[in-house]
Structure 1
Amino acid sequence: MAVKNSTKQTPKKKAQSNILEQSKITKASALSSLKTIVPQIFMDAQRPNEHLRSDSIRLRDVQLACCLNSPHLIGELEDIDYEGEALFIKEVFRNINKVLPIRKKEPHADRIVRFIAGFLQYNQQRDGIAKDEFVKLKRRNAKLEAKKKARAEAQRDIDDDPMSEVEEEEEDEEEENEDEDDSMDDDEDDEETISSRFVGSLLRHLLKGFTAKGIFVRTRCCQIIALSISSMGEIDEDLYQDLRTALFDRIIDKEASVRIQAATTLCRLQSADADVDPTDGKTILQKLMWCLQNDPSSEVRRVILFNIDPIAETLPYIVERARDVDAINRRVVYLKPLSDMPDFRMLSLEERNQILKWGLNDRNPLVKKAVSKMLSEKWISHANNNLIEFLERLDIMKPQVTEIAESVLDAFFTARMDIVNDISFDAEFWNNLTPESAFLAKVLIKFLQKDHTLDERLDAILPEVTRHAFNLKYYNDLYRSPTQSAQDYEFITTQMLETAMCLDYADEVGRRKMFELLRDILKSCELSEDHLSKIVRIFRLISLNERDFTRTIIEIIFDIQEQLNNPDELTETPAKKSRLEDSFASSLEISDPVTDMTDPTDIDSLVIRLRCLSISVQNSDVVLREEGLHCLGLCCTLDKTLAQHNVALFIQCIKNGHEGILKKAIVVLFDLMMTYGVQNLTVQIESSDEIREVFEFCIDHDTLEIQAITTEGLAKLMLAKRFQDDEILRLMILLYFFPVTDQDNNKVQQCLTYFFPAYSYSSADHQTSLSNVTILALEELCNTYSDLKSDEIMVNPMQISDMLADWTDPRKLAKLHLNDVTIDDEIKPNVHGRLAIEALNIIYNEPAGLKRKTMCHFILRLYLEKLDTSQLAEIKRLIHAINTERPIKEVLTRNAFTKLLNTIESNIEEYNQENGLDPNPETEKEETEQEEAAAKEDNTEKEDSEKDEEDIEKEADI
Structure 2
Amino acid sequence: MPGRVSARASRASTGQAAPTRKSSTQTLKSARSSTDHRASSSPVADVPDEGASTALRKHIGAIFSDSQKSTTGHRKLVINLRKIQEACCYEPTSKKGRQDDQFDEEDFNNEFLRCILRLLPIRKSEAAGDRVVRFLGVFLRVASDKDNALLADQQDEDTTTLPETPTSRLSNLIFSALLQFFNAKDKVVRFRATQITSHMINILDALDDQLYHVLRLALLKRIHDKEASVRMHAIYGLTRLAADVESSEPEASDSEDDSGAAGVLEKLLILLQNDPSAEVRRSLLLNLPLVPKTLPYLLERARDQDAATRRALFARLLPALGDFRHLSLTHREKLLRWGLRDRDEAVRKATAKLFRERWIEDCAKLPAAGGADDAEGAKKDATAAAAPSIEALLELLERIDVTNSAANGVALEAMLEFWEGRPDYVSDMDFGPTYWEELTPESVFVVRTFNDFCRKSENRDAREQGRLMDLLEGKMPEVTRFGFLLEREIKALVDTVQRAASGGPDGDGDEDAEEESVSREFVVEQMLAMASTFDYSDEVGRRKMFGLLRDATAMPELPEEATKLVVEVLRLVCGDDNQGKGEREFCGVVLEAIAEVHDTIMGEDEKEKSEEGDESFHSARSELSAGSGKGRKKVVQDADGDMSMDDGVDEEKAIREIMVNMKCLHIAQCMLQNVQCDLEANVHLVTMLNNLVVPAVRSQEAPIRERGLICLGLCCLLGKNLAQENLTLFLHCFAKGHPELQIIAIQILTDILTTHPSLLAPSPSETDASTLDASPLLKPVLKTFSRALKSESPEVQSTGATALSKLMLSQLITDTDILRQLIITFFDPDTSTNAQLRQALSYFLPVYCHSRHDNAVRVVQVATGVISRVGGMREAFIEEMDDEGGEMVTTAFVGGLLVDWTDPRKIVGREALLGLSREAEGEKTCTHLLLAEQILERMVTGQTSKDERRVLFGMLGKLHLAGKGQGLEAIKTVLELLAEATEGKVAGDATGRNVLAKMQGSLLKLVHDAVGVERGVEGTEVDATSLTAMATPGRVKGRGRRSEDIKEEEEEEEDEVTMQLRREMEGTKIEKEDGEESKLTVIGEGKEEESVIDTSQLPSEKKMQSLMESLDDEDEDL
Q: Name the TM-score class by shorter chain.
A: 0.7 to 0.9
What is the letter of the counterpart of residue 107 of structure 1? A
1:194-593 counterparts in 2 under 5 A? 194-274=166-246, 275=248, 276=250, 279=258, 281-385=261-365, 386-398=392-404, 403-451=409-457, 452=465, 453-479=467-493, 480-481=495-496, 482=499, 484-503=512-531, 504=534, 505-544=536-575, 545-563=582-600, 564-567=602-605, 568=608, 571-572=655-656, 574-586=658-670, 588-589=672-673, 591=674, 593=676
Gaps of 5+ in 1: 1-17, 24-30, 73-80, 136-182, 932-958
Counterpart residue number, 2:791: 701
Deviations 1:107-160 (A, max 9, x none): 33322222221112212332454466x39xxxxxxxxxxxxxxxxxxxxxxxxx
Asked if 1:673 is matched to 2:753, the reply is yes
What is the letter of the counterpart of residue 455 of structure 2? Q
Q: In structure 2, which of residues 684, 690, 712 is the aligned counterpart of residue 632 of structure 1? A: 712
Assess, with a 3 A threshold, how the Cα gap between structure 1 residues 915 and 869 changes in structure 2: closer, same or farther: farther
Tell me the percent identity: 29
Counterpart residue number, 1:949: none
Q: Distance in 2 between matches of 1:105 and 1:130?
A: 40
Asked if 1:100 is matched to 2:104, the reply is no
Deviations 1:825-867 (A, max 9, x none): 7364487459737853654453855555555555666677898
| Bigger share in helix | 1
Counterpart residue number, 1:50: 72
Say which SS state the counterpart of residue 194 (structure 2) adopts: helix
Q: Distance in 1 between matches of 2:526 and 2:408?
A: 13
**Post-superposition offset of 1:556:** 0.5
CA RMSD of aligned residues (A): 4.0
Which stretch of the first structure deviates more once superposed, 122-131 or 851-860? 851-860
Do the aligned partners of 2:524 and 2:562 also contact (CA within 8 Å) in 1? no
Which stretch of the first structure deviates more once superposed, 740-749 or 539-548? 740-749
Deviations 1:560-616 (A, max 9, x none): 222324315865564255245335424543x46236x79x6x355545445432233
> TM-score, normalised to structure 1's length?
0.78
Which stretch of the first structure deviates more once superposed, 504-513 or 534-543? 504-513
Deviations 1:760-779 (A, max 9, x none): 34444334444444444444
Assess, with a 3 A threshold, how the Cα gap between structure 1 residues 228 and 457 changes in structure 2: closer, same or farther: farther
Say which SS state the counterpart of residue 343 (structure 2) adopts: coil
Deviations 1:190-211 (A, max 9, x none): 5433333333333333333434
Deviations 1:714-742 (A, max 9, x none): 322222222322332333233233x2136
Counterpart residue number, 2:802: 712
Say which SS state the counterpart of residue 24 (structure 2) adopts: strand
Q: Distance in 2 between matches of 1:290 and 1:184?
A: 44
What is the letter of the counterpart of residue 119 of structure 2? V
**Post-superposition offset of 1:677:** 1.4
Q: Distance in 1 between matches of 2:562 and 2:787?
A: 38
Q: Distance in 2 between matches of 1:199 and 1:809?
A: 60
Assess, with a 3 A threshold, how the Cα gap between structure 1 residues 586 and 560 changes in structure 2: closer, same or farther: closer
Do the aligned partners of 2:182 and 2:218 also contact (CA within 8 Å) in 1? yes
Which stretch of the first structure deviates more once superposed, 678-687 or 287-296? 678-687
Assess, with a 3 A threshold, how the Cα gap between structure 1 residues 502 and 842 changes in structure 2: closer, same or farther: same
Deviations 1:869-907 (A, max 9, x none): 777777666666666667653343245446656777898
**Post-superposition offset of 1:554:** 0.5
Assess, with a 3 A threshold, how the Cα gap between structure 1 residues 643 and 259 changes in structure 2: closer, same or farther: same
Assess, with a 3 A threshold, how the Cα gap between structure 1 residues 892 and 193 changes in structure 2: closer, same or farther: closer
Assess, with a 3 A threshold, how the Cα gap between structure 1 residues 494 and 807 changes in structure 2: closer, same or farther: closer
Gaps of 5+ in 2: 1-21, 28-52, 95-100, 366-391, 458-464, 500-509, 576-581, 609-630, 632-652, 765-774, 1012-1020, 1030-1034, 1037-1079, 1093-1118
Do the aligned partners of 1:445 and 1:499 also contact (CA within 8 Å) in 2? no
Counterpart residue number, 2:1022: 914
What is the letter of the counterpart of residue 646 of structure 1? N
Do the aligned partners of 1:888 and 1:894 also contact (CA within 8 Å) in 2? yes
Deviations 1:145-201 (A, max 9, x none): xxxxxxxxxxxxxxxxxxxxxxxxxxxxxxxxxxxxxx8213496543333333333
Q: Distance in 2 between matches of 1:241 and 1:746?
A: 45
Counterpart residue number, 1:161: none
Assess, with a 3 A threshold, how the Cα gap between structure 1 residues 216 and 22 changes in structure 2: closer, same or farther: farther
Do the aligned partners of 1:345 and 1:393 also contact (CA within 8 Å) in 2? yes
Q: Distance in 2 between matches of 1:810 and 1:251?
A: 45
Assess, with a 3 A threshold, how the Cα gap between structure 1 residues 604 and 432 changes in structure 2: closer, same or farther: closer
**Post-superposition offset of 1:244:** 1.9
Q: Distance in 1 between matches of 2:108 and 2:935?
A: 82
What is the letter of the counterpart of residue 821 of structure 1? G
How many equivalent pairs are there? 846
Tell me which of the two structures has the higher relative contact order, counting C-alpha pairs closer than 8 angstroms and 6 or more residues apart.
Answer: 1
Say which SS state the counterpart of residue 338 (structure 1) adopts: helix
Do the aligned partners of 1:547 and 1:605 also contact (CA within 8 Å) in 2? no
Counterpart residue number, 1:821: 915
Deviations 1:674-731 (A, max 9, x none): 2221446787986653333333333333333223223222322222222322332333
Say which SS state the counterpart of residue 123 (structure 2) adopts: coil
Assess, with a 3 A threshold, how the Cα gap between structure 1 residues 223 and 835 changes in structure 2: closer, same or farther: closer
Q: Distance in 1 between matches of 2:831 and 2:934?
A: 38
1:726-805 counterparts in 2 under 5 A? 726-737=816-827, 739-741=828-830, 744-788=833-877, 789-791=879-881, 793-805=887-899
What is the letter of the counterpart of residue 669 of structure 2? A
Deviations 1:472-524 (A, max 9, x none): 44444444244735413531342233223324344444443344344444433
Q: Distance in 1 between matches of 2:421 and 2:671?
A: 34
Q: Distance in 2 between matches of 1:422 and 1:70?
A: 70
**Post-superposition offset of 1:42:** 2.7
What is the letter of the counterpart of residue 89 of structure 2? C
Do the aligned partners of 2:486 and 2:527 also contact (CA within 8 Å) in 1? no
Assess, with a 3 A threshold, how the Cα gap between structure 1 residues 443 and 336 changes in structure 2: closer, same or farther: same
Say which SS state the counterpart of residue 909 (structure 2) adopts: helix
Q: Distance in 1 between matches of 2:806 and 2:992?
A: 40
1:80-99 counterparts in 2 under 5 A? 84-99=104-119
Asked if 1:690 is matched to 2:780, the reply is yes
Q: Distance in 2 between matches of 1:422 and 1:490?
A: 30
Say which SS state the counterpart of residue 672 (structure 1) adopts: helix
Assess, with a 3 A threshold, how the Cα gap between structure 1 residues 775 and 288 changes in structure 2: closer, same or farther: closer
**Post-superposition offset of 1:362:** 0.7
Q: Distance in 2 between matches of 1:390 and 1:637?
A: 44
**Post-superposition offset of 1:363:** 1.2
**Post-superposition offset of 1:557:** 0.4
Q: Distance in 2 between matches of 1:406 and 1:903?
A: 57
Asked if 1:725 is matched to 2:762, the reply is no
Q: Distance in 2 between matches of 1:909 and 1:48?
A: 60
Counterpart residue number, 1:168: none
Do the aligned partners of 1:476 and 1:490 also contact (CA within 8 Å) in 2? no
**Post-superposition offset of 1:330:** 0.5
Which stretch of the first structure deviates more once superposed, 901-910 or 315-324? 901-910
**Post-superposition offset of 1:240:** 1.9
